[in-house]
Amino acid sequence: MVRLDRLSRLMILAGIIMLLSSIILGDILLQVNSSSQELIIPPHGTLVTSFNPNSIVVFQGNGVSIHGNNVYTVGCKVINLQGKVSIINNSSYSVNLNERTILLPGVLYIIIFPIIIIGGIIFISGILISMYLRLR
């Protein structure tokens, strides 16, 4: 019984460490692989651009309409998941548009996500063992 109790504590601790370290490492990877710039759209102008398919682009600004595939509006931010975008300014004045591009590295899918899943499984298993021992 004492060994199972110690095992459950170690599993909970290992799961927490794996979850937190992979989340911090993923955050560092995404911050290193991001860039931002400011676009100026002229009055009654249209800007057509395309992006890397492995990136997420976030636009923030007012007075323009953004069209394309995989374009989603969240609050005052427009998120483009991949592909081609056309930005249309129907106003009689220039509009400043902030663009932030986040490149998603392959390491994120190969290493970080599996570590998050394995850490979660270990954490939940440790909690289940601990609950079993207390209810027994």
Output DSSP code: residue 69. Answer: T
**Model confidence at 120: pLDDT above 80:** yes
- DSSP codes of every residue in 12-53: HHHHHHHHHHHHHHHHHHHHHTEEEEEEEEPTT-EEEEE--T
Q: What is the pLDDT of residue 126?
A: 95
pLDDT digits (tens, 9 = 90+) for 22-61: 999 999 988 888 888 888 888 888 888 877 777 888 888 7
**Model confidence at 1: pLDDT above 60:** no
- Beta strand pairing call for 34-41 and 95-103: antiparallel
Confidence of residue 64 (pLDDT cuts 50, 70, 90): confident
Q: What is the pLDDT of residue 100?
A: 85
pLDDT digits (tens, 9 = 90+) for 66-99: 877 777 777 667 777 767 788 888 888 888 888 8
92-120 mean pLDDT: 87
Token pair 């998941």 is found at 81
Q: What is the pLDDT of residue 2?
A: 64
